[in-house]
Chains A and B, each alone.
Chain A
Amino acid sequence: MSDQELSRRSSKYTPRKAPEGERLATSAMIASLDSEGRDTIAAPFGHALVDMAKDRDDIVGLTADLSKYTDLHVFAKAYPDRFYQMGMAEAVMVSAAAGLAREGFTPFATTYAVFASRRAYDFIIMAIAEENLPVKIVCALPGLTTGYGPSHQATEDLAIMRGMPNLTIIDPCDAVEIDQATRAIADHPGPVYMRLLRGQVPNVLGEYGYQFKMGKAQMLRDGRDVLFVSSGFMTMRVLDAAKQLQADGVDCGVLHVPTIKPLDVETIVAEASKSGRLVVTAENHSVTGGLGEAVAATLMRAGVHVPFRQIGLPDAFLDAGALPTLHDQYGISVDAVTASVKSWL
């Protein structure tokens, strides 16, 4: 083996520079995104589903061996006869959900985002989306929400799913929004892919009097200098970053975009067109093919020429490790967001 080959091979195993201070341990996969000292709500998806199901016989739940890790176990316990444990078999779970929808039911099918987007894609697009069936695919571990490495990190799920016609894509921010969005997608007549935060989920939007509306982006705070355009839990990060930046005299607005597709072009164009602001997209996803590029394309098509930056994960296979470490390393922690914005002003 040549030196070059050896070095290429071993480069992957070069230890990363240890973060300042204490080294953190990779938490178990079931860990919630709750280490922020916030008010949290338990299993908002599962409880919303149970609440709706008491008035709607058409709601059924399916999982591919991940009910406990997608909060669907709450529904399974409340309605055991309406719960289908499909085993470790995503293709038949998705296809059977399509069949149940054909017979008039509203199936909620859960797994991890990597397995739905990568493994089950052909079944979702042909058995469900092509026929516009009302199947709701709800997936835990979106983006970088586990330290288990690329097998579990769905850093490109939005890029994959955005290409699918008929599909509505939701990337909710917190427990409040997951509760509201779960109810909204149940009423939506077509297929939906929703990213899920599970377990103890932070309650952030409660204090903003927020109400989820499918297909609508909403301003959570206004600001003169920077306009964050964000989705998912990155909206909580940019809200915190906006407070940090405020202390430094940087006035930041936050436009929360929970519906990735169809995108609220009107609101995004209107807010980005307000002069003098740096537009910064922020997403828990690769910079390739997600919210950032969708917003960039939207602005280009509309002829809106503004300073534009993207906060997101690199187009790479990410490291394993503890989430706080990884979020710092890949630039999506609050401190990293604040530092990036300052460097751009």
Chain B
Amino acid sequence: MNTATPKGGSNVSLARRAWAIRRNALRMGEVQGQGYIGQALGVADVLAVSYFHALNYRAAEPEWEGRDRFLLSIGHYAIALYAAMIEAGILPEDEIGTYGMDDSRMPMSGMAAYTPGMEITGGSLGHGLGIAVGMALGLKRKKNPAFVYNMLSDGELGEGSTWEAVMSAVQWKLDNLIAIVDFNDQQADGKTTAALANVPEAGRWSAFGWFAQEVDGNDMDAVVAAFDAARAHKGDQPRVIICNTKMCKGIPFLEDREITHFVRVEPEEWARALNILDEGKPQ
């Protein structure tokens, strides 16, 4: 039972928010009969903490100058971010059925021009952290105290440009930059740790000069504590939270399935998954 508290005096628990994010994502997957549902279920707890504990934003004013910027590098995770932004009231719930369809504001891969609240166009991996460096520099120029968050995937850490940005963020002492790595050890062709990431992850960020934490990304209390520590840290250095997450988290029959980048879900299984979720609805 998690004890983590949402911000702003809301009486809706973070567990309930994560449940709603998973539910929104499953409904989008059901519409299309496909989608990156494994990633969305896995990262739902981290997004719940981001949008209902950590980030400053105004739901009705996505471009409010004082907002914390949340940059999604990993365009295919858009289904998860839409699910979170619907729960946050940034996107209307009645557009769930348009996910991935013609004329939708919620395309399969996240793009800034399509979706309110989507800060950047992701999808070409290795871009987000560099853009985050520029935005963090820009906020400092403007003396704007907002944070820049960049959600990356473990696979994206294979891109050399990510490490250019890692070094640059240290060089410019970007204490207003928080990277969130969703480490589910799964990339398109197989395990990330079988490709370019078989080293202690937090250690290499620390070695570059970042304030690094590694947590179980499906342990709400741990994630909350890591976000709090990242924001409160006094060092003039960028911060990273490595979130070890489990693909398909929360739907046991999918968790037990052979996990791949694109988890296959049979047409009748969407309703089954929603039923399982609803049975475990938290307070």
Contact = CB atoms under 8 A, between A and B. Distances in A.
Contacts, number: 97
Contacts of A86: 168
Contacts of B124: 122, 126
B168 A127 contact: no
Nearest to A88: B164
Interface residues of B, number: 31
Interface stretch (B127-135, B241-249, B268-276): B127-135
Q: What is the interface of chain A mostly: helix, strand, loop, or mixed?
A: helix
Given A92-B161, A95-B165, A100 B142 contact: no
A331 interface: no
Contact of B131 (A89, A99, A122): A99
Interface string A95-106: 111111111110
Nearest to B123: A126
A94 B130 CA distance: 8
A102 B63 CA distance: 11
A27 B67 CA distance: 52
A95 B112 contact: no
Given A99-B137, A105-B138, A123-B161, A91 B113 contact: no
A99 B119 CA distance: 10
A131 interface: yes
Contacts of B171: 87
B218 interface: no
A96 B160 contact: no
A123 B138 contact: no
A96 B133 contact: yes
Interface string A6-44: 000000000000000000000000000000000000000
Interface of A: 60, 84, 86-87, 89, 91-92, 94-105, 107, 122-123, 126-127, 130-131
Which 6 pairs, one residue from A and one from B, show the smallest C-beta to C-beta distance? A99-B134, A95-B130, A103-B138, A96-B134, A91-B161, A92-B164
11 contacts: A92-B165, A92-B168, A95-B133, A95-B165, A99-B133, A99-B134, A103-B142, A126-B124, A127-B120, A127-B121, A131-B112
